[in-house]
Chains A and B, each alone.
Chain A
Amino acid sequence: MSTTTTATGTLSVGVATRETKVKRTDTATHWQLMWWKFRNHKMALLGGSILAIMAILSLFAEFVGPYTPQERTAKYAQGRPMGFHFIDAENSFHLRPFVYARVAKRNKVTLRMETTVDKTEMWPISFFVRADKYKMWGLFESDLHLFGLENNRHFLHLLGTDQLGRDMFSRVLYATRTSLSIGAIGVGLAFLLGITLGGIAGYFGGMVDGVIMRLIEFIRSIPTLPLWLALAAALPREWTALQVYLSITAILALIGWTHLARRVRGKLLALREEEFVLAARLSGCSHARIVTRHMLPSFMSYMIVDLTISFPYIIMAETALSFLGLGMREPIVSWGVLLYSAQNIRSMVLMPWLLIPGLVVIIAVIAFNFLGDGMRDAADPYTK
């Protein structure tokens, strides 16, 4: 979607007669009209921006996060989130943000390691620091991080650490990547299946249509949660993390496509009788050209809206499965995996920051709903 550039951007002034006056909307493509309408939906824009930021940050999780998800800071296990400051205890301003030093000491009564904030010492945060080595997207090695501490005996945990001393901020970033990508791949697979099977059913009709529709009704009649549980439980335990990841995505998509297939079928059945499709047939268009040039474009925007709305369902499903211990497993981190470790009362009371991934899930789902709302309004740009 390009922004505001139109072929006839010149809004003719003065000499324009009634015939030659061109409104900007007259020559705008469908996607331009949609974008202009979408732009007016502030909440949708907000939702979209939040998701875009999430996606970009998590895409570069290795670079943005100061630690890898498995790296442990043993002396700061179960540590609280560390706030960063610009103004120190003596009220002087530092352009470079810093965190106060943490000192670990064993409590002589409870024998538990306790950390205290040492306000006399500051650990300045540096940007573009060389720190831990990582392999970007598993492709090339680097040790450059967006921010971190120069001194490798110091540590920086903006969202605290978990039971083992792993950095929550970095883990949330990696988890966002996993969960969003499961949503994206799952939605993509569901889209392919839905459009193919729904397309076949709608275009050919008759017997094929009957068979596919009965199949969809069968799948939809199975209660989803037990079905997911059964399918997920059937995955062999010895599978690698990647295999588990892919099969969970496939399982979620296998159930998600039915809704979409029905929509595609219904739309195609209706479009087949539309006058502009008949006109295209009379023009001599082949079946392929009619489908791709006349039918698909006229319901693609609705499909995209549908996909946006079904995105959070897939994310929630993955989170639910992993939370129950049947989806992803360590060492992969997803939102559900992170929440799984926050399941017991003890960690909720002692380490409430472990619930931050839950907050991220809520924000993401709400953002998706706002976005879907705006897109639904924009999908039919011809209505005022």
Chain B
Amino acid sequence: MEPLIKIRDLDVTFPIGKSGFFGKPTAYLQAVSGISLDIHKRETLGLVGESGSGKTTLGRAILHLEKPTRGKVELRLDDEYVDLEDLNTKELRKIWRHMQMVFQDPYASLNPRMTVREIIAEPLVVNRKGNKNDILEKVEKVAEMCGLQRDQLGRYPHAFSGGQRQRIAIARALALMPQFIVSDEPVSALDVSIQAQILNLFKELQNKLGLTYLFIAHDLATVAHVCDRVAVMYLGQIVELTETEKIFYSPKHPYTEALMSAIPDIDPDRKMNPVLSSGERPNPANPPSGCRFHTRCRYVEPHCKEVQPELSEIVEGHFVACHRAESLTLQGAIE
């Protein structure tokens, strides 16, 4: 099946450090480095990695909220691929009807000066989706779908709790009935008791509307709950990509193994046996040569320090970027 979104060799580079009279950048930080990825229709693709690994930047670059420095993103629309690179600002605004985003912090993503009704209606108003009554009707429908009550719509965001705010943000993202939604750690700012509710809402909406998600997270339990496939990122690159079960049961990349061993267990008698990666995370502005993980890898060989491994398909549907992927037997989270 043709993927909904094709990402090829995507780079996002930020200038850092300024000098001189008008501030010429002195160095560059590659937040996303040569990422290729397919996202299929109706799937939930998880994106995990420690903070600073470039997850959020990748999410924003896919939507072209952040312009990629290299590479391209294509969206399948009516059996044809649209290259987002070719679009000007106005055309991008139109393509965003099909691709939306739910942000991490529901306290920052809602304009405090607008009522909930105005917030959800804004994309409809701006895109001229019908007259005033049509829009109000649509707003109420989508709000109800996200678990908001009609009499709450006249209130301002400050009157709501974090979970309810995230419902509002989801309703806004859904207002234009997009096909694809980037969720940037949508539950990490919420109480654990609320997280499950919001995650279930995501699932429910996916079943009802046939949505496709890119689900960014750093909490592996969340990922296990909602994702069909998982991509693991390290220093701006994808190191492993496969189905959720395989990631948890039989990881093929040493970094994934280290991540999995860090999942806390609720059984107090069970001994935690973390496979710790030694050393600090390298500076992303100055990544190590060869395999970017070699400075912390337990299985490092001289070869790893010189040649950068490609992301290749080892078993059907299981992509790993490791020279030793086929020879190593790694430990999963669950035996």
- In the assembled complex, 19 residue pairs joining A and B whose CB atoms fall closer than 8 Å, in A order, are A20-B151, A28-B156, A30-B156, A274-B108, A276-B109, A278-B60, A278-B101, A280-B111, A280-B122, A281-B65, A281-B96, A282-B96, A282-B100, A282-B101, A285-B126, A289-B126, A298-B113, A382-B112, A382-B158
B55 interface residue, CB < 8 Å from A? no
A23–B151 Cα gap in the complex (Å)? 12
A345–B100 Cα gap in the complex (Å)? 75
* A278-B101, A284-B93, A289-B126 as given contacts; A27 in contact with B111, CB under 8 Å: no
Q: Which of A279, A281, A294, A382 contacts B169 (CB 8 A)?
A: A279
State the Cβ distance, A359 to closest chain B Cβ, in Å. 41
Contact B96 A30 (CB under 8 A): no
A26–B155 Cα gap in the complex (Å)? 5
Contact B103 A279 (CB under 8 A): yes
Q: Which of A7, A28, A279, A297 contacts B101 (CB 8 A)?
A: A279
Contact B97 A275 (CB under 8 A): no
B284 interface residue, CB < 8 Å from A? no
A275–B173 Cα gap in the complex (Å)? 13
Q: Which of B23, B104, B127, B152 contacts A210 (CB 8 A)?
A: B23
State the Cβ distance, A258 to closest chain B Cβ, in Å. 19
Assuming A279-B110, A282-B96, A285-B122, what are 15 further A-B pairs, CB within 8 angstroms? Answer: A7-B154, A8-B154, A22-B155, A25-B158, A30-B156, A210-B21, A278-B101, A279-B109, A282-B63, A282-B123, A283-B127, A284-B96, A284-B97, A285-B93, A285-B126
Q: Mark B8-22, 1 if CB is under 8 A from A, else 0.
A: 000000000000011
Contact A297 B65 (CB under 8 A): no
State the Cβ distance, B62 to closest chain A Cβ, in Å. 12
A11 interface residue, CB < 8 Å from B? no
A95 interface residue, CB < 8 Å from B? no
Interfacial chain A residues near B110, Cβ < 8 Å? 276, 279
Taking CB atoms and an 8 Å cut-off, the chain A residues in 247-298 that contact chain B are 274-276, 278-286, 289, 294, 297-298
Instruction: Show the binding face of B for A, using Cβ within 8 Å.
Output: 21-23, 60, 63, 65, 93-94, 96-97, 100-101, 103-105, 108-113, 115, 122-123, 126-127, 149, 151-152, 154-156, 158-159, 169, 172-173, 176
* A25-B159, A285-B126 as given contacts; A298 in contact with B111, CB under 8 Å: yes
Contact A275 B108 (CB under 8 A): yes
Interfacial chain B residues near A279, Cβ < 8 Å? 101, 103, 109-110, 169, 172
Q: Which of A7, A8, A207, A298 contacts B112 (CB 8 A)?
A: A298
Q: Which of A19, A207, A283, A289 has the most CB of B within 10 A?
A: A283
* A22-B151, A275-B108, A279-B169 as given contacts; A284 in contact with B156, CB under 8 Å: no
Contact A283 B126 (CB under 8 A): yes
Contact A275 B105 (CB under 8 A): yes
A30–B109 Cα gap in the complex (Å)? 17
A23–B122 Cα gap in the complex (Å)? 25
A283–B21 Cα gap in the complex (Å)? 37
Minimal Cβ-Cβ distance residue in A for B118: A293
A27–B114 Cα gap in the complex (Å)? 10
State the Cβ distance, B77 to closest chain A Cβ, in Å. 16
How many inter-chain contacts with C-beta < 8 Å in the A-B complex? 88
Q: Mark A294-325, 1 if CB is under 8 A from B, else 0.
A: 10011000000000000000000000000000
A276–B111 Cα gap in the complex (Å)? 6
State the Cβ distance, A28 to closest chain B Cβ, in Å. 7
Contact A207 B96 (CB under 8 A): no
Interfacial chain A residues near B156, Cβ < 8 Å? 26-30
A291–B230 Cα gap in the complex (Å)? 38
Interfacial chain B residues near A280, Cβ < 8 Å? 111, 122
Contact B22 A30 (CB under 8 A): no
Minimal Cβ-Cβ distance residue in B for A282: B96
State the Cβ distance, B164 to closest chain A Cβ, in Å. 11
Minimal Cβ-Cβ distance residue in B for A21: B151
Closest 9 A/B residue pairs (Cβ): A26-B159, A283-B123, A275-B109, A284-B93, A26-B155, A210-B22, A275-B103, A275-B108, A284-B126
Interfacial chain B residues near A20, Cβ < 8 Å? 151
Contact A278 B65 (CB under 8 A): yes
Contact A27 B115 (CB under 8 A): yes
Interfacial chain A residues near B126, Cβ < 8 Å? 283-286, 289
A281–B115 Cα gap in the complex (Å)? 18
A155–B324 Cα gap in the complex (Å)? 107
Taking CB atoms and an 8 Å cut-off, the chain A residues in 27-41 that contact chain B are 27-30
State the Cβ distance, B173 to closest chain A Cβ, in Å. 8
Interfacial chain A residues near B109, Cβ < 8 Å? 275-276, 278-279
A283–B92 Cα gap in the complex (Å)? 11
Interfacial chain B residues near A286, Cβ < 8 Å? 93, 126
Interfacial chain B residues near A294, Cβ < 8 Å? 111
Contact A207 B101 (CB under 8 A): no
Minimal Cβ-Cβ distance residue in A for B104: A275
State the Cβ distance, B318 to closest chain A Cβ, in Å. 33
Minimal Cβ-Cβ distance residue in A for B111: A276
State the Cβ distance, B112 to closest chain A Cβ, in Å. 7
A279–B100 Cα gap in the complex (Å)? 9
